[in-house]
Structure 1
Amino acid sequence: MLDAFERLILKTLQRNGRASTQELSEAVGLSTSPCWRRVKRLEEDGYITRYAAILDRKKLGLHALAHVQVSLADHTEDSINKFQIFVQSNEQVLECSSITGDFDFILKVAATDPETLEKFIMRDLLRLGIVRTTTTNFILRQMKVAGVLPVDI
């Protein structure tokens, strides 16, 4: 179980992953040594899995963002493994979730433009030979992109 200090540490680090131990200790109300030990324990216990910079996709020229729903042709272990390897190794795939309903997976895919997204689907995804069907929905506008998990629930 996490105590109140650890929850505050997690909340603070989600907002500013570059916070120094001093800044973190001031934000949560602990001295630096206990604060540092708690951060290390949170890392070791897997609560904190990595630190990353959040980039502006549009400044990087990634103007097309879409959800691609995918149904596999079959559900053999080989097909699922092939799909998982593809998803893990393809940088255009930002997220992948196994879902209920008419499709097996939903991907969040970034591309420079609609034509590049089409190439991703036609050249990369469908050529795997394991995909039965896809449906693509372009994201017109993102209203909330948090990336921050609720720690108090």
Structure 2
Amino acid sequence: MASQTTKRAELDAFDRTILRILQADNKTPQRSIADQVNLSAASVQRRIAEMEKSGVIEKNVSVINPKAAGQAITVIVEVHLKSDQSSVVNPAKALFKSVPQIQQCYYVTGNGGLILVVLVEDMEAYEALARRLFADNESVLTYRSLVVLDRVKVGLSVDI
């Protein structure tokens, strides 16, 4: 959550181990986690609930294989906006956040830049999306598309 400031949580060794287990498989039963960390299941449940409440655990999701879901093409897009002014950047961020094909969007340093990770079913779909979002968008100065050849590593875990 880029716009939110989250207070750094005080995590002990038990919390960190629980988080490692959950990042590997969020459906791991709490009894199994408890056995692995040498705590009671009730204690594990309380710790997980507290980490959810404090924002350490933002959400629970399923990681989908894009090809199996019909999204065979991944494109990394570097977008440069006409300026870094909020009146240009904020609408672009809102637009990109609303597009389901955009899986990730990062506002980065340098020239009003955003980096997007886009999933589409084929190149024709990407061309139509690129025209609508970038080529025909008056706020976009330039954009560069990098088509992914191979997903070497996809990680959703944080080194705890």
| Equivalent AA in structure 1 for residue 121 of structure 2 | T
Moved over 4 A (4+): none
C-alpha distance 24-53 of structure 1, shift in aligned 2 (>3 A): same
Of all paired residues, the percent bearing the same amino acid is: 26
TM-score, with length taken from structure 1: 0.92
Ranges in structure 2 where 5+ consecutive residues have no aligned partner: 1-9
Paired with 2:43 and 2:83, the residues of 1 have a C-alpha distance of 52
The match for 1:100 among 109, 117, 121 is: 109
* Correspondence for 1:87: 96
Residues 1:54 and 2:66 are matched in the alignment: no
TM-score, with length taken from structure 2: 0.88
More off after superposition, 46-55 vs 72-81:
72-81
> Are the counterparts in 1 of residues 84 and 112 from structure 2 also a CA contact under 8 Å?
no
The match for 2:18 among 3, 9, 14 is: 9
Residues 14-25 of structure 1 mapped to structure 2, 5 A cutoff: 14-25=23-34
Deviations 1:68-125 (A, max 9, x none): 1000012222211111111111111111112235661111111111111111110233
Paired with 2:91 and 2:39, the residues of 1 have a C-alpha distance of 48
* Correspondence for 2:6: none
Paired positions, count:
151
The match for 1:28 among 34, 37, 51 is: 37
* Correspondence for 1:117: 126
- Two-structure CA RMSD over aligned residues (Å): 1.4
Ranges in structure 1 where 5+ consecutive residues have no aligned partner: none
